[in-house]
Amino acid sequence: MYIHRELEDLISPFLKRKEIIIITGPRQIRKTTLLEHLNSQLKYETKP
């Protein structure tokens, strides 16, 4: 079960940019879970 985080709303507008986003924090605060959730929401574009 995924719990929506406020950080997700802050990061989402930057996902379409071609820049690097760094997420840091202590262990076991669900950084990887957040990234996996954001990744699942991205639409991949394929070039012919």
Domain ranges of the chain: 6-41
pTM to 2 decimals?
0.70
| Residues 38 and 11: beta-carbon distance below 8 Å | yes
- Which residue has tokens 């639409």? 43
Which sign, positive or negative, has the C-alpha torsion 45, 2, 12, 27?
negative
Determine the Cα–Cα distance for residues 31 and 43; give it in Å rounded to an integer. 21
Q: Are 2 and 33 in contact (CB under 8 A)?
A: yes
Confidence of residue 47 (pLDDT cuts 50, 70, 90): low
Residue 31, pLDDT above cutoff 70:
yes
The arithmetic mean of pLDDT across residues 10-15, rounded, is: 87
